Amino acid sequence: MVIKDETVREKFRNSSVDGNITCSECIEIAKNMDIPTNEIASTLTEMHIKIIKCQLGCFQ
């Protein structure tokens, strides 16, 4: 599911640098904004933001 809340999307947009955002930043945003972490990847894919430095090694 893709997150449509523009406040959440703006937070990801503002936290990204050159179209990239770290996994730890994503998790922190999700925690602070009370959103499910399993919705982050699909949302960022739609926004053309790449997850880097994945703590699980999924995204390099």
| CB of 45 closer than 8 Å to CB of 16 | no
- What's the confidence (pLDDT) of residue 38? 87
What residues have CB less than 8 Å from 16, skipping those under 6 apart?
Answer: 49
pTM: 0.83
The residue that leads in pLDDT, 22 or 60, is: 22
Distance CA 1, CA 18 (A): 24
18-47 confidence digits (pLDDT tens): 999 999 999 999 999 999 888 898 999 999
Distance CA 31, CA 18 (A): 23
Mean pLDDT across the chain: 90
Bridge partners, residue 22, by sequence:
52
